[in-house]
Amino acid sequence: MLPSYERFLSELVRQRNLTRSARFEADCAALRPLPAAPLDFTRELTVLVSRFSLVRVLLNHYSVPSRLIGATLKVRVRSETLELYHGPVPVLTLPRLSGRNRHRIDYRHLIWSLVRKPGAFANYCYREELFPTTVFRRAYDSLLEVRPTKADAEYLRLLHLAASTSEAEVELAIKLLLEAGCTPTVDAVRELAGSSKPAQAPAIAKAAIDLSDFDTLLNSGGQHG
């Protein structure tokens, strides 16, 4: 999408400049040499990581790893990305959101603190972002039906399992359990996901090598029919 839009703009500028060639030449004659050092188009901000593991940059919210809660970060704002630094150390690069009052929440950043405080899940303002796919949402609904008082804690443990192992494998295990009419508890999902081991390469026997044809060819002086 972006490359196509850039090509469209380039062609539009080229066509417009065709009718302004004389004025363009006059402007070129008045231009001075460019500076030796390139201009820095980045903007630097300082942000504080909230107790919810969020930072606010240019009126938008972004999640960061929970180990940074309480830390002060430096943010280099570029046209399409945000580069976050803790002191001189780069910690994260995020896609920059356009507009304002938007948010980008990654459950992998939050799950380590939420799993220790499952009661916070019910009133978390960005709770919908903690369902990475519809399968995870169905898992939570299933847990809510079977064990409503423990559903939040159990679901957060599922997310923790996905973050620490493989989201794709956990999602597949949840889907299979739901299709079988079973409740996707953490123990059931872990057992099913752990049973899907990668296939081993088949053993290949050594091939028998018969060099008698080459001996015959050499003994015949290299002549063959």
Over residues 36-66, the pLDDT tens digits come to 777 667 889 999 999 889 999 999 999 999 8
Task: Report the alpha-carbon distance of residue 44 to residue 2 in Å, rounded.
Answer: 25
Say yes or no to pLDDT of 202 above 60. Answer: no
What backbone torsions phi and psi does residue 177 show, to the nearest 5 degrees? -65, -40
CB atoms under 10 Å from CB of 36, counted, come to: 5
Q: Is the pLDDT of residue 199 over 60?
A: no
Which pTM value belongs to this model?
0.66
Give the whole-angstrom CA distance, residue 189 versus residue 165: 12
Exposure string of 82-115, with b = 16+ CB inside 10 Å and e = fewer, is: bbbebeeeebbebebbeeeeeebbbbbbbbebbb
Sheet holding 54-57, edge to edge: 54-57, 60-63, 103-104
What average pLDDT does this structure show over 173-201? 83
Burial status of residue 154 (CB atoms within 10 A of its CB: 0-12, 13-18, 19 or more): buried
Predicted confidence (pLDDT) at residue 154 exceeds the cutoff of 80 = yes
% pLDDT > 90, the chain? 56
Asked whether residue 198 carries a pLDDT value surpassing 50, the answer given is no
Task: Please answer whether residues 165 and 144 qualify as being in contact, where contact means their C-beta atoms are separated by less than 8 angstroms.
Answer: no
Let me know: does 110 contact 66? Beta carbons within 8 Å: yes
SS (H, E, C) 47-114: EECCCCCEEEECCEEEECCHHHCCCEEEEEECCCEEEEEECCEEEEEEECCCCCCCEECCHHHHHHHH
Q: What pLDDT sits at residue 22? A: 79
E-state strands within 96-172: 103-104
* Average pLDDT rounded to a whole number, residues 11-24: 81
Q: Who's near 48: CB < 8 A, 6+ residues apart?
A: 55, 70, 71, 72, 73
- DSSP state letter for 120: G
- Residues 19 and 13: their CA atoms lie apart, in Å, by 11
Structure tokens belonging to residue 5: 């839009």
CB atoms near residue 163 (< 10 Å): 19
List 72's β-bridge partners, or say none. 48
pLDDT at 155 over 80: yes
